[in-house]
Amino acid sequence: MTKEERGGQEFILTLSCPDKPGIVYAVSSFLVQHSGNIVDSQQYEDVRDLTESYKLPFHCIPVTPQTKPAAEATLLSLIDETKTELVVLARYMQILSPEVCKRVEGRMINIHHSFLPSFKGARPYHQAYAKGVKLVGATAHYVTPDLDEGPIIEQGLLRVDHSYSPQRLAEAGRDVEAQVLARAVAWHAEHRVLLNGNRTVILY
């Protein structure tokens, strides 16, 4: 169903605030009272309490276009100080500089949907829906200066059909991404991944 068929305009509402009970209810109630309808909703929270419950240090490094060089310098310093063995990028919506990529080569894993490079940019699952894709998938790979083109560690696929809405496609894609990323991280931690140039050898 298009936005015209729904009878109104579409907007993206982004909120940032301390987490507490009732936030979702307050926002959804406000939208309903003003004849609004929610077609997709996502909620995230920075997981400091969970991290610290395992006696692990939690670090948050805000990034803006203006502070990116300083933020990357802080990140590299933190990696060196903590002797970090693996960095996992999951929904980190920033492009790292070539300098950072080279410094952590073979120690940083990223995950992306397997539509790349077919559906780049924003809302890839909406683009996929418009093209009538029959498969959704994900690729976990080591990070290199070439965006999303590093040595592949693991991939996964799921067959879909015309009954999938863009939202359901995105949900299915996220499930595959989570499974693929988990396997890639586990194999790396278990020293099952051998780098061979632009390829990997996996010891199953």
Active-site amino acid positions? 148
Q: If you write DSSP's letter for every residue of 54-67 in order, what string do you get? A: TT---------TTT
Q: 135-142 and 108-113 as β-strands: parallel, antiparallel, unpaired?
A: antiparallel
Q: What letter would DSSP give residue 27?
A: H
Q: What letter would DSSP give residue 50?
A: H
Residue written as tokens 């996220």? 174
Residue 196: enclosing H or E segment and its boundaries? Answer: strand 193-196
Q: If you write DSSP's letter for every residue of 133-187 in order, what string do you get? A: -SEEEEEEEE--SSTT-SPEEEEEEEE--TT--HHHHHHHHHHHHHHHHHHHHHH
